[in-house]
Amino acid sequence: MKHRSGSPIAACVGAAIMFACALVFPTARAAVFDPKTFTLDNGLQVVLVENHSVPAVVQMLWYKVGSADEPRGKSGIAHFLEHLMFKGTEAVPAGEFSKIVAQHGGRDNAFTTRDYTGYYQVVAADRLGLVMEMEADRMANLRLTDELVLPERDVILEERRSRIDNSPAAQLGEAMNAALYLHHPYRLPVIGWESEIAALGTDDALAFYEQHYAPNNAILVVAGDVTLEELRPLVEKHYGPLEARDVPPRVRTQEPPHLASRRVVLRSDQVREPSWRRSYLAPSYTYGDMADPYALQVLSELLGGGPTSRLHRSVVLDERVGAAAGSWYDPNAVDMSTFGIYGVPRQGQTLEAVEAAVEQVLANLVREGVTEEEVAAAKQRLQAAAIFARDSLQTGARVLGEALVTGRTIEDVESWPERIAAVTVDEVETAARAVFKEERSVTGLLLPDPAPAPVAEADPATPAPAPIQTPAPPPSTPAGRGS
Ligand SMILES: [Zn+2]
């Protein structure tokens, strides 16, 4: 993303609070979003979530293209183009887009992930036409020259240095990701490999733009203080004249069978706090039949979703080897997804002790199953998180946009509460047994270098250290799911 806005959604697509986001984003309630939709003749699907609580709107334009759609050897071009979309058209010169939005009291940003690229503005409701005009303009009329493109490439290289190369945790995430996916392009970092970023040029950006940026390859989501009757003429006026184009199908290489577990160790003198992670290959909403994605959400919640979860109770409270432990699972992906587990040792404890304690929890769960009570409680916590989602304009836009752009339907989003409510104990157990397969996993260890001097065992009478605020980032992108 650009480095200007500190808006909540921009923060959410970053690494740090992925776990909080994962709880909220896959969620929706039919009675809340109740979206309306129509499609223009040029193929642009439009979705409206009315919310008249404040006189504001968010416009989010989602393109069905991300880093996993990049040509081989051009890693980072999707994210690079995201930056370049602010480099101007004839009507809105370089650098002016965000300035104009700000002059009208709004804010804007953009994000790139493996599967999609998005642009959004939050403005007063009476400025919706203005931001639509500008967003539609840059879908068709982007102008790029070396004078604009090459300095921005240096910005991206610096972004990579600061977000990945100066962060051992992000470096480990990148290495784990490259190890988890043997062949699928999800193994590539969203921001790109440094040598490939450095070789990207104006022609690469323009080719990618022309191939993928078209109304029939986009979803427009508007949320806020506007009615369908007001929205439709605005959309027709600004986006209607854009022409549909042939867009290449999303054909991605697929994974071969996974036969060997992998272990990735990163030592760095920048590491102050060692940590442990494991990623298992898992199905998404739209890919894979090894387990049910709804059951996996319940599983992740009961296993590692907060202070009452099995991992926290066992690894942190009972065994007292961990300062923190938890899990994450995000079923939103075009192809396969990941089920992740992390643990941070207490002072004086080792990663091996944390790993053994986590594995004990997993083994118990697989062997003995789960209880009706914890499944019910996990479902209730997920449902409660969904209720928070309805209060935010941006969350509604984000949930719907992400679903549609990864191949799901509005109906899928609207039925989420019922689908979660219907998950059974048996389904959770089946999902756990299917996903927790060592040969489909990669384990990552983040260690200080040199190793710290041995510390006396933590005194059991002293309280556990405060949980770290940022658990290990999920392995999907440079430093999270978006950049
Ligand atoms: Zn960026």
Report all structural domains of the chain as residue ranges with CATH numbers, in order of start. Answer: 8-238 (3.30.830.10), 262-448 (3.30.830.10)
- Identify the burial level of 1 via C-beta atoms within 10 angstroms of its C-beta, where 0-12 means exposed, 13-18 middle and 19 or more buried: buried
CB 345 within 8 A of CB 351: yes
Structure tokens at 45: 């699907």
- Tell me which of 82, 174, 255, 402 is the catalytic residue: 82
d(CA 182, CA 166): 26
pLDDT at 455: 54
pLDDT at 32: 58
- CA nearest to 67, candidates 21, 22, 117, 12: 117
Q: Smallest Cα–Cα separation from 66: which of 332, 391, 318?
A: 332
Mean pLDDT in residue range 237-255: 95
Q: Is the pLDDT of residue 406 over 50?
A: yes
Task: Read off the pLDDT of each residue in 79-99 and give the average, rounded to a whole number.
Answer: 97
Average pLDDT over residues 329-356: 97
Distance CA 71, CA 49 (A): 35
User: What pLDDT does 23 receive?
Assistant: 36
What value does the mean pLDDT take over residues 103-121?
98
* pLDDT value for 436: 98
**135 pLDDT more than 50:** yes
| SS3 labels along 276-298 | EEEEEEECCCCCCCCCCHHHHHH
Q: Higher model confidence: residue 220 or residue 391?
A: 220
Query: How is residue 112 written in tokens?
Result: 């790139």
Residues 6+ apart with CB under 8 A from 454: none
Evaluate if residue 182 carries a pLDDT over 50.
yes
Residue range 439-451: average pLDDT?
94
Which range (24-38, 76-90, 384-398) has the least confidence? 24-38
Contact assessment for residue 16 and residue 188, using Cβ atoms and an 8 Å cutoff: no
Distances (CA, A) of 376 to 74, 294, 362, 370, 385: 46, 13, 19, 11, 14
pLDDT at 26 over 90: no
* pLDDT band per the 50, 70, 90 thresholds, residue 477: very low
Residue 2 CA, ligand 1 centroid: distance in Å: 5
Lowest mean pLDDT among 123-127, 292-296, 423-427, 465-469: 465-469
Distance 392 CA to ligand 1 centre (A): 24
Q: How far is it, in rounded angstroms, from Cα 245 to Cα 85?
A: 19
Does 192 score more than 70 pLDDT? yes
Centroid of ligand 1 to alpha carbon of 157 (angstroms): 9
Q: How far, in Å, CA of 140 to CA of 131, rounded?
A: 15
State pLDDT tens for residues 255-284.
999 999 999 999 999 999 999 999 999 999
* 116 contacts 50 by C-beta, under 8 angstroms: no
Determine the distance separating the centroid of ligand 1 and the alpha carbon of 152, expressed in angstroms. 10
List strands edge to edge, sheet with 337-345.
262-268, 441-448, 275-282, 337-345, 322-329
Report, as an integer, the average pLDDT of 382-408.
Answer: 90
Which whole number is the average pLDDT over 315-341? 97
Residue 476, pLDDT > 90, answer no
**Which tokens sit at 378?**
């996990």
Does position 144 have pLDDT exceeding 70, yes or no?
yes
d(CA 84, CA 143): 9
Å from CA of 452 to ligand 1 middle: 35
What pLDDT band is residue 452 in, cutting at 50, 70 and 90?
Answer: low
346 pLDDT above the threshold of 80:
yes
Q: How far is the CA of 163 from the centre of ligand 1 (A)?
A: 10
C-alpha closest to that of 240 among 270, 216, 208: 216
Q: If you average pLDDT over residues 470-476, what whole number do you get?
A: 35
> What pLDDT sits at residue 364?
98
Backbone φ, ψ for residue 147 (5° rounding): -65, -30
% pLDDT > 90, the chain: 81
Give strand pairing partners of 329: 339
Task: Express each pLDDT in 162-180 by its tens digit.
Answer: 999 999 999 999 999 999 9
- Neighbour tally for 20: CB within 10 Å: 12
CA of residue 354 to ligand 1 center, whole Å: 34
Tell whether omega for the bond before 450 is within 30 degrees of 0, i.e. cis.
yes
Instruction: Give the alpha-carbon dihedral of 442, 406, 117, 34, to 10 degrees.
Output: -130
Give this prediction's pTM: 0.88
Q: pLDDT category, 132, cuts 50, 70, 90?
A: very high
pLDDT of 31: 54
Contacts of residue 295, defined as CB under 8 A and 6 or more positions apart, other chains included, come to 423, 424, 427, 428, 430, 431
Q: What are phi and psi of 205, to 5 degrees?
A: -65, -45
Q: Does residue 17 carry a pLDDT above 90?
A: no
Q: What is the pLDDT of residue 94?
A: 97
**Mean pLDDT in residue range 113-132:** 98
Specify the DSSP class assigned to residue 312. I
* Rounded Cα–Cα distance for residues 383 and 399 (Å): 15
Please state, in angstroms and rounded to a whole number, the distance separating the CA atoms of residues 200 and 191.
12
**pLDDT, averaged across the chain:** 89
Question: 453 alpha carbon to ligand 1 midpoint, in Å?
Answer: 39
Secondary structure (DSSP) of 42-76 = TS-EEEEEE--SSSEEEEEEEES--GGGSPTT-TT
Residue at 309: amino acid letter: S
What's at 439, amino acid-wise?
E
Q: Are 315 and 354 in contact (CB under 8 A)?
A: yes
pLDDT of residue 464: 38
pLDDT value at position 290? 86
> Facing residues of 60 across strands?
120, 221
Annotated catalytic residue 82: yes
Q: Tokens representing 465?
A: 């250290």
CA of 305 to the centre of ligand 1 (A): 30
